[in-house]
């Protein structure tokens, strides 16, 4: 079953609190740190989304608490349009970078990839620790953008660094959206509230995050290619490992582009360069070059920023969604008690989605003035991603067909992932066609689409993963009763939030507006806006049940054995929780594929990867996806 590992673990088990829990080199502790960071970040993002919904549904309402914290941005408790735009910007930035990118890859990937391939740790433990703390620093910097713009006194401290560092505008950050479109993002304080120090710290935060992600990506790729245990061929790896590996490749190729673009944007703001700023701009009553606060710029291209951002931005969609796809495949097979349908097709589909993701960035720019011929090419490539996506969807359905399904909370969230991915993806077929996107662009149909397919689907993948792997991580189950309550309210809630947005978008409701009461043609939709807000409030409140469940279960949850789900992969072969070096110095040998369920002649309905052929009557000893 296993072989003795001759070497020693690359770093001894820590004894002090700081080295064990703070600056840990253990990939499992680092994975938990990433998850805690994401749980903190999503809390900030949810609060911001709640404030946005309050403004959209009840504009003109006095919210005294806002005046207490942001007297300039919400005078008299009334939210200004600029304050609303800063909420949009910071909500999107925090959720995309510090939740959707951080938890699935940095959290669950860090914890389970080494164990699933039979390794003792990540290839570079110190680099792994650095990647987390660099990411954490990026999160602190983005939070500092809230402070430096929201507090007038603190904001003025930075005025000595130059006009682009002036803060204290009363917003919660910049107002240019999470995409940071130039020239608005490149001009400095003259462009509006929040565009001074807040925008600078936004750019610096994203640049720091890129560095942390690159360190992590290098570690993931090296670990998977070089540290698989005996018998663990590529085609015997769980689909989770394939998803994390592909995600790491995407991050390695896309984050440098955003990092380079961010550096150029910062130079435009503080060094007087003109990479993204064209000449002859007239902003806020000032002509470029006529005022020290608005220096002369010539020759820049705002469209260049869009190309650089979206060359990163569309692979980022798959950086967020692919780990969820891997976890969903893994969980569906486990609780359907069947081998995953079409294992090899699933692997190739993961790679195809990742590869095609680099060729479709132009569909975000259909209204930027691009050539219609370019638009047709980007449209065809965009629609082609539907092919590997459909392969995955039909293989998930094939896995479920005729199965003896165990409806655990993890399984419910995995099924919810499939539902949301399909529902959100359908509207992607509409927006991927340039002729339709011209009318739909920057309306609420886009908001509904990407929240379903990228945001909520990814989060459902995270929930499924946490409910599934929590017993292995902490030795206790998450509460199943609270978990199912959490699932059903959240599942119904997100559909009530984001499906009506498709109707709003088709009716012409624009994104990023702080209220719609001035527009006669939109007044009939206001009851729908209120309905969405009520659904959002209920759904957000339900997440606190989840937080309670997590904290309670860590200390008081029902104790779990080593393999409570009767699963097959290597993480269930070790003790619960896993020891410092994962396998107590004895590395497992792999004899078969990752999803050996319902094998004819086997004494149980599952065969673990580390069980030898001699121990398993009827076992084929190869890949579980072949029978």
Structure token digits, residue 336 = 């359907």
SS3 labels along 490-505? HHHHHHHHHHHHHHHH
Which residues, at least 6 apart from 395, have a Cβ–Cβ distance to it below 8 Å?
329, 340, 341, 342, 345, 346, 349
3-state secondary structure of 588: strand
Paired tokens of 244: 């994390």
Q: How sure is the predictor about 623, in pLDDT bands with cuts at 50, 70 and 90?
A: low
Domains, the chain, with CATH or none: 24-278 (1.20.210.10), 322-559 (1.20.210.10)
Report the alpha-carbon distance of residue 93 to residue 118 in Å, rounded. Answer: 35
Other beta carbons within 10 Å of 19: 17
Residues 524 and 241: their CA atoms lie apart, in Å, by 49
Mean pLDDT, residues 37-44 taken together: 97
CA–CA gap between residue 24 and residue 33 (Å, rounded): 10
* Closest to 510 measured CA to CA, from 167, 189, 88: 88
What does the alpha-carbon distance between residue 211 and residue 222 come to, in Å, rounded to a whole number? 17
Is the whole-model pTM more than 0.85?
A: yes
Q: Burial level of 338, CB count in 10 A (0-12/13-18/19+)?
A: buried
Structure tokens at 369: 């003035």
Asked if residue 528 has pLDDT above 50, the reply is: yes
pLDDT at position 627 over 60? no
Whether residue 138 has pLDDT greater than 70: yes
With the CA atoms of 214, 217, 218 and 224 taken in that order, what torsion angle do they form, in degrees rounded to the nearest 10? 180
For range 286-297, the mean pLDDT: 80
- What one-character-per-residue DSSP string does 289-313 give? TSBTTB----S--HHHHHHHHHHHH
Percent of the chain having pLDDT more than 90? 82
**Which stretches within 96-226 are classed as H helix?**
110-116, 125-150, 152-157, 197-226
What are the tens digits of pLDDT across the range 536-567? 999 999 999 999 999 999 999 999 999 999 99
623 to each of 102, 235, 356, 397, 471, how far by Cα in Å?
Answer: 32, 8, 28, 21, 27
Q: Which 3 state secondary structure label does DSSP give 586?
A: strand
Distance from C-alpha of 69 to C-alpha of 321, rounded to nearest angstrom: 35
Q: Contact at 8 Å (CB) between 425 and 389? A: yes
List pLDDT tens digits, range 468-501.
Answer: 999 999 999 999 999 999 999 999 999 999 999 9
As given in the structure block, the two tokens for residue 578 are 């896993």
Task: State residue 7's pLDDT score.
Answer: 41
Residue from 450, 378, 383, 388 nearest 420 by CA: 450
pLDDT recorded at residue 331 = 98
User: Residue 8 has what pLDDT?
Assistant: 38
- Report which DSSP code applies to 609: T
pLDDT of residue 303: 96
User: What pLDDT is recorded for position 500?
Assistant: 97
CA-nearest of 451, 481, 166 to 293 is: 166
Helix 27-57 / helix 526-556 crossing angle, nearest 10 deg: 150
* Mean pLDDT score of the chain: 92
Label residue 299 by pLDDT band (50, 70, 90). confident
Looking at residue 109, what is its pLDDT? 97
* Nearest by Cα to 127 from 32, 213, 1: 213
Contacts of 273 (CB under 8 A, 6+ apart): 264, 267
- Residues linked to residue 510 through DSSP beta bridges, in sequence order: 443
Tokens 């896993």 belong to residue:
578
Of all residues in the chain, the percent with pLDDT exceeding 70 is: 96
Map tokens 């997100």 to a residue.
494
| Token pair in block for residue 20 | 């064990």
- Name the band, by pLDDT with cuts 50, 70 and 90, for residue 4: very low
Residue 586 phi, psi dihedral angles, 5° rounding: -120, 100
Across residues 509-519, what is the average pLDDT?
91
Contacts of 500 (CB under 8 A, 6+ apart): 448, 528, 531, 532
So what's the pLDDT on residue 297?
83
Which residues pair with residue 587 across a beta bridge? 3
pLDDT at 262 over 70: yes
Crossing angle (nearest 10°) for helices 526-556 and 480-506: 160
State the Cα torsion 508-511-517-519 to the nearest 10°: -40
Quick check: 559 and 475 in contact, CB under 8 A?
yes
Distance separating alpha carbons of residues 250 and 479, to the nearest angstrom: 35
User: Mean pLDDT across the stretch 260-286?
Assistant: 91
* Residue 282, strand partner residues: 287
Write out pLDDT tens, residues 423-466.
Answer: 999 999 999 999 999 999 999 999 999 999 999 999 999 999 99
Does residue 11 surpass a pLDDT of 70? no
For residue 86, pLDDT beyond 90: yes
The pair of three-digit structure tokens given for residue 258, joined into one six-digit string: 């955003």
């Amino acid at each position: 079953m296993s072989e003795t590992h001759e070497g020693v673990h690359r770093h001894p088990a820590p004894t002090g609190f700081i080295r064990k829990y703070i600056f840990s080199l253990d990939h499992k502790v680092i994975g938990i740190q990433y998850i805690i960071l994401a749980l903190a970040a999503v809390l900030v993002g949810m609060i911001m989304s709640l404030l946005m919904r309050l403004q959209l549904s009840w504009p003109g309402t006095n919210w005294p608490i806002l005046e207490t914290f942001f007297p300039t941005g919400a005078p008299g408790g009334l939210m200004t349009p600029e304050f609303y735009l800063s909420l949009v910007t910071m909500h999107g930035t925090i959720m995309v970078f510090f939740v959707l990118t951080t938890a699935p890859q940095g959290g669950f990937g860090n914890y389970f990839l080494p164990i699933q391939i039979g390794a003792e740790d990540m290839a570079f433990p110190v680099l792994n620790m650095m990647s987390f703390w660099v990411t954490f620093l990026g999160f602190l910097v983005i939070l500092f953008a809230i402070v430096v713009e929201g507090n007038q006194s603190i904001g003025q401290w930075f005025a000595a660094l130059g006009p682009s560092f002036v803060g204290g505008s009363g917003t919660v950050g910049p107002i240019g959206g999470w995409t940071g479109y130039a020239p608005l993002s490149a001009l400095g304080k003259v462009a509006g509230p929040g565009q001074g120090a807040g925008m600078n710290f936004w750019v610096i935060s994203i640049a720091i995050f890129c560095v942390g992600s690159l360190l992590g990506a290098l570690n993931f790729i090296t670990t998977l290619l070089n540290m698989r245990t005996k018998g663990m061929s590529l085609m015997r790896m769980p689909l989770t490992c394939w998803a994390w590996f592909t995600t790491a490749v995407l991050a390695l190729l896309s984050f440098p582009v955003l990092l380079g673009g961010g550096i150029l944007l910062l130079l435009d703001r503080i060094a007087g360069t003109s990479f993204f700023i064209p000449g002859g701009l007239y902003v806020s009553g000032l002509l470029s070059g006529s005022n020290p606060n608005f220096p002369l710029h010539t020759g820049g291209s705002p469209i260049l920023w869009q190309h650089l951002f979206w060359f990163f931005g569309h692979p980022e969609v798959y950086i967020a969604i692919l780990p969820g796809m891997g976890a969903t495949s893994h969980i569906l097979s486990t609780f359907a008690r069947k081998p995953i349908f079409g294992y090899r097709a699933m692997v190739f589909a993961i790679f195809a989605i990742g590869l095609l993701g680099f060729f479709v960035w132009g569909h975000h720019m259909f209204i930027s003035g691009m050539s219609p011929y370019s638009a047709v090419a980007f449209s065809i490539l965009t629609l082609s991603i539907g092919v590997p996506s459909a392969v995955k969807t039909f293989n998930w359905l094939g896995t479920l067909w005729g199965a003896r399904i165990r409806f655990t909370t993890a399984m419910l969230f995995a099924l919810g992932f499939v539902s949301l991915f399909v529902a959100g993806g359908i509207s992607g077929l509409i927006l991927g066609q340039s002729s339709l996107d011209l009318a739909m662009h920057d309306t609420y149909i886009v908001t509904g689409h990407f929240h379903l397919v990228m945001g909520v689907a990814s989060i459902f993948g995270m929930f499924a993963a946490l409910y599934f792997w929590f017993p292995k991580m902490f030795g206790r189950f998450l509460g199943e009763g609270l978990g199912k309550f959490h699932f059903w309210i959240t599942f119904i809630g997100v559909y009530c939030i984001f499906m009506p947005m498709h109707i709003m978008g088709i009716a012409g409701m624009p994104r990023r507006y702080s209220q719609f009461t001035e527009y006669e043609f939109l007044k009939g939709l206001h009851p729908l806006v209120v309905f969405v807000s009520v659904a959002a409030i209920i759904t957000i409140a339900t997440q606190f049940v989840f937080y309670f469940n997590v904290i309670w279960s860590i200390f008081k949850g029902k104790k779990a054995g080593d393999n409570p789900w009767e699963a097959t992969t290597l993480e269930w072969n070790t003790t619960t929780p896993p020891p410092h070096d994962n396998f107590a110095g004895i590395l497992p040998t792999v004899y078969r594929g990752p999803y050996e369920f319902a094998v004819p002649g086997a004494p149980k309905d599952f065969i673990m990867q580390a069980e030898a052929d001699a121990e398993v009557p009827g076992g084929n000893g190869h890949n579980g996806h072949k029978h």
